């Protein structure tokens, strides 16, 4: 049920379409007026192909530095928002976003500063999504 509501939220908030994953790991989910999330979703072969086709992805290729920058900005922003540097440092160290040159990424930012960073590791069939709302 949570997976279904998250899929609807991605579509509504970002125009990001995703089939239901096989498994979702919630690294963190801070609720409140301005929530933030870091989720890791695992997919089977057929749904991962649908996921690849459904969105306006950018292939990482030689842009690994850009993707790492997006992830690091998100991490620092979360650490600053919650003033819990060690906790979030450990969460990101224990749950790193793994990607390679064949992986895909998607970012979108709203006028209020809210944004999503999504990284799809095709080889591992794993989607990493990091969201923050204002």
Answer whether 25's CB lies under 8 Å from 2's CB: no
Q: Give this prediction's pTM.
A: 0.93
- Cα 87 off chain centre by: 19
Cα angle value 134/72/130 (rounded, 5°): 50
* Closest to 19 measured CA to CA, from 38, 44, 36: 44
How is the chain split into domains, by residue range?
2-122
Predicted confidence (pLDDT) per residue in 107-121, tens digit: 999 999 999 999 999
pLDDT at 33 over 80: no
% of residues, the chain, pLDDT over 70:
98
Q: Which two tokens stand for residue 104?
A: 């895909």
pLDDT-wise least confident of 26-35, 38-47, 98-107 = 26-35
């Amino acid at each position: 049920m949570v997976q279904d509501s998250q899929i609807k939220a991605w579509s509504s908030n970002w125009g990001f379409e995703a089939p239901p994953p096989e498994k979702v790991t919630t690294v963190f989910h801070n609720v409140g007026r301005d929530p933030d999330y870091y989720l890791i979703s695992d997919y089977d072969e057929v749904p991962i192909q649908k996921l690849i086709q459904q969105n306006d992805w950018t292939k990482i290729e030689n842009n690994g530095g850009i993707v790492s920058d997006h992830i690091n900005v998100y991490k620092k922003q979360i650490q600053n928002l919650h003033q819990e540097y060690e906790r979030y440092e450990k969460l990101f160290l224990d749950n790193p976003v793994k990607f390679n040159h064949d992986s895909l990424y998607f970012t979108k930012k709203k006028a209020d500063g809210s944004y999503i960073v999504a990284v799809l590791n095709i080889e591992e069939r794993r989607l990493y999504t990091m969201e923050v709302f204002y």
